Amino acid sequence: MGNEIRVLAEDYPDFEFIYTDIEELDITNPLKVAAYFTSSKPQAVINCAAYTAVDKAELNESSAYLINATAVEILSKSAAAIGALMVHISTDYVFDGKSYRPYCESDATNPQSAYGRTKLAGEAAVRQYADKGLILRTSWLYSAFGNNFVKTMMKYGTERDELKVVFDQVGTPTYARDLAKAILDIIPLAFQHSGTELYHYSNEGVASWYDFARLVIAFSGIDCQIKPILTKDYPLPAPRPYFSVLNKSKIKETYPISIPYWSDSVEHCIHRLVKSNR
């Protein structure tokens, strides 16, 4: 996510961007965060850091909590102290996935995993400590960077003749570049609001992981068969929501953004990956 913001930065010449990673700033250290914010005076803080190893979090919930909740509290307090907008990214895993219609912001949360619980605690920290907050819940994030489903499918697809992918979990893949653009477009407008606002943002449409994998392989021109399987045939430590489609009406009604259809964005990302041979 952070890398996609960095790439888009040149399209926003009116903004000055400051990037930090753990080497420059450990976001779990309240004194260092406060000092950093006081000296660099950002008008908005975009927190792209997270503990995202969903299965590992089942055994390391306290490590996940430190990054996904405690650090969010620290960032929110320091942002409030300098009057900065705190932008935070959360997840569809705050829901239990038992719905039959796309989740709205007002729907009850009920995380089923350690990761989901810690991310929900992070949302609460923004609400409690940020003066101005913007929480964006997203789902199935992928990009041209880091480790993600698109890159994993491309890698395994070239190494194997056949891949088995679950088809009984549905949601919406979200291109981190699209989410990054939405955030950068929203920030100047979000200053006008007070308090913390919660929005859902994913790409448009609905897919299963199987559909997603098929499209990745097709757009990549890789010769590999994708076979549908059930979740019960691919057991993982952390339970995943069976249904996690997000309703995006609120963000579309509040801000003038257009959201790309999921498969158009997958094609864009793969085109970039193939072009850059990444």
Ligand X SMILES: NC(=O)c1ccc[n+]([C@@H]2O[C@H](COP(=O)([O-])OP(=O)(O)OC[C@H]3O[C@@H](n4cnc5c(N)ncnc54)[C@H](OP(=O)(O)O)[C@@H]3O)[C@@H](O)[C@H]2O)c1
Q: Is 67 in the site for ligand X (CB under 6 A)?
A: yes
Which H helix or E strand runs over 207?
Answer: strand 207-208
* 115: annotated active-site residue: yes
Q: Is 74 in the site for ligand X (CB under 6 A)?
A: no
80, 38 Cβ separation under 8 angstroms = no
| Bridge-based pairing state of the strands 207-208 and 170-171 | antiparallel
Query: Which position has the token pair 């994708």?
Result: 226
> Of 70, 112, 139, 244, which lies in the binding site for ligand X, with binding defined by CB under 6 A?
139
Size of the site for ligand X (CB under 6 A): 19
> Of 57, 130, 141, 144, which lies in the binding site for ligand X, with binding defined by CB under 6 A?
141
Can you give the length of the chain in residues? 278
Q: Is 170 in the site for ligand X (CB under 6 A)?
A: no
Q: Is 152 in the site for ligand X (CB under 6 A)?
A: no
What DSSP character marks residue 204? B
> Of 129, 140, 210, 243, which lies in the binding site for ligand X, with binding defined by CB under 6 A?
140
Taking CB under 6 A as the binding criterion, the range among 19-27, 78-86, 212-220, 260-268 that sits at the site for ligand X is 19-27
Taking CB under 6 A as the binding criterion, the range among 20-28, 96-104, 224-232, 263-271 that sits at the site for ligand X is 20-28
> Of 138, 169, 196, 263, which lies in the binding site for ligand X, with binding defined by CB under 6 A?
138
Angstrom distance (rounded) from CA 215 to CA 205? 14
Distances (CA, A) of 32 to 69, 74, 131: 17, 10, 20
What DSSP character marks residue 104? P
Angstrom distance (rounded) from CA 86 to CA 72? 9
Q: Is 48 in the site for ligand X (CB under 6 A)?
A: yes
- Nearer Cβ to ligand X (167/201): 201
Q: Is 49 in the site for ligand X (CB under 6 A)?
A: yes
Q: Is 202 in the site for ligand X (CB under 6 A)?
A: no
Q: Is 69 in the site for ligand X (CB under 6 A)?
A: no
Q: Is 50 in the site for ligand X (CB under 6 A)?
A: yes
Indicate which residue of 51, 93, 115, 199 is catalytic: 115
Q: Least distance to ligand X from the beta carbon of 50, Å?
A: 3
Angstrom distance (rounded) from CA 17 to CA 203? 25
How many CB atoms within 10 Å of residue 258?
10
What are φ and ψ of residue 35, in 5° steps?
Answer: -65, -40
Q: Is 162 in the site for ligand X (CB under 6 A)?
A: no
Angstrom distance (rounded) from CA 104 to CA 132? 21
Residues that bind ligand X (CB under 6 A): 1, 21-22, 26-28, 48-50, 52, 67, 89, 91, 119, 138-141, 146
